[in-house]
Amino acid sequence: MSQTSYALVTGASSGIGECFARALAGRGHNLVLVARTKSKLEALAEEFRKQHSVPAEPVEIDLSASGAAERLVRILEERRIVIDLLVNNAGFGARGKFWELPLDRQAQMIRLNLGALVELTHLLLPAMAAQRRGAIINVSSTAGFQPVPYTSAYAASKAFVTSFSEGLAQELRGSGIVVVTLCPGGTRTNFFAASQYGRPKLPGGMQRPEEVVEAALRSLDRGGGLVVPGLMNKLALASQRLLPRRVVARVTARLFRP
């Protein structure tokens, strides 16, 4: 990798995003770390510089804000940073009856889960296409494979991410650009607390975020594709195909009912 090429990780201050940053630093990638928590980003950047001798640029920005993706790209241009690996990881959920949850909170979630991901991909992809090399890892969820009552908008947002990413992968065939669509199930991060989910009882329990990231990077090395980490998650999704969707929705409603 050239000295001017960087991997950009959104939501890099914790959870799956932090694990991606650590794993990529260990692989020798230069890093742009993006999140809202400046102190955590700066601490991670300093750690990676010392332990792995890689440049690490912290960028404090709220990607759910209007125009945030464009502001981020302008910052990259000002610092003369070229992105050849984009990890769209930032996102959150909301649990409860759709009409009782605050509309502004759900709109913010949709802007982050969908809008920021699409905008960053659209803004950074042309340079990858011109160089005929690069990679995109879009973090979706097993929630995107079926309706999930009491977190309906979140599940729908992840269904969009999965469909968008798989479609984009086909558009980019033969371009030299790899697309990984990562669909983890329940993962041991602060996602549930930050999203005010509580702790739903998920089949198979929770995975370690390191396992999720390892699965994504293996797929990246092999040329990309759809990744569902964990045997129980794979079995759960396979079993859903045998059931009517209304039955699947009833089952997920029992799991996620507040």
Supply the residues annotated as catalytic.
Answer: 154
Contacts of 180 (CB under 8 A, 6+ apart): 135, 136, 137, 138, 165, 216, 219, 220, 224, 225, 227
Q: How many CB atoms lie within 10 A of CB 121?
A: 19
What are the b/e assignments for 136-169, b being 16+ CB within 10 Å?
A: bbbbbbbbbbbbbbbbbbbbbbbbbbbebbeebb
Written as six digits, the tokens of 48 are 């990676």
Length of the chain: 258
Rounded Cα gap, residues 77 and 159, in angstroms: 32
Written as six digits, the tokens of 132 are 């005929």
Q: In the chain, what is the greatest distance between 2 CA atoms, to the nearest angstrom?
A: 53
Tell which residue, 235, 219, 144, has the closest CA to residue 183.
144
Residue type, 17: G
